Amino acid sequence: MFDSLMSFPKPLIAEVGGNAVGGGAIIAYTCDYRYMVDGKGRIGFAEPLVGLPITSALIIRMRQIMIPSSVSEAAMEGALYKPSDAVRNGLLSEVGASLEELRKKSLGKINVLNRIPASVTVETKRALNKEALEAAKSASKELAYLFKTQSSIIPNLLEAMTANKERRRPVLTHAANYS
């Protein structure tokens, strides 16, 4: 999914009406412009909180769109951001009061982009996304290696899924102790 969206030649605009966590965040992060309803929704990756690492391709994309001081928090801590905070750290382009307002913002952006030759957009997107796409090619190997070498990943993932089902916080094994 990441590869397909990042290599799509036309501009992509995300309109997020609620939470965008995990897969929803991947879709939003891969878009060129990201709008979200200002409300109770959150955006980010909770994977570190359930014992899963963030791939290098996603970290490269985070570095492209976020302010540098927020990348470590998002990738290592699994921070989930309120829409207004996500705009401040570069994760979102803008917020709106409603889906209708997001649609107006999206259509306005499309009108701006329609003034630019398609060939320019295609080549610019290719150049912008080249590094993340190259990293994505090796992401499946990267994850397979981690699953083989990090014995706590699968048990932690299963514990996190069970805890979610039981509506409790997961108790992860091999949790770091940096004190």
pLDDT in tens, the chain (179 residues): 888 899 999 999 999 999 999 889 999 999 999 999 999 999 999 888 877 888 889 999 999 999 999 999 999 999 999 999 999 999 999 999 999 999 999 999 999 999 999 999 999 999 999 999 988 887 767 767 776 776 667 787 788 778 878 988 888 776 666 55
Domains annotated on the chain, with CATH:
2-165 (3.90.226.10)
What confidence score (pLDDT) does residue 176 get? 60
What confidence score (pLDDT) does residue 21 get? 93
Contact, 7 vs 129, CB < 8 A? yes
Cα(72)–Cα(162) distance, integer angstroms: 27
What confidence score (pLDDT) does residue 153 get? 74
What confidence score (pLDDT) does residue 33 get? 97
Please tell me whether residue 16 adopts helix, strand or coil conformation: strand
Q: How far is CA 28 from CA 38, 51, 65, 172, in A?
A: 15, 22, 11, 28
What confidence score (pLDDT) does residue 175 get? 60
Strand-pair partners of 13: 33
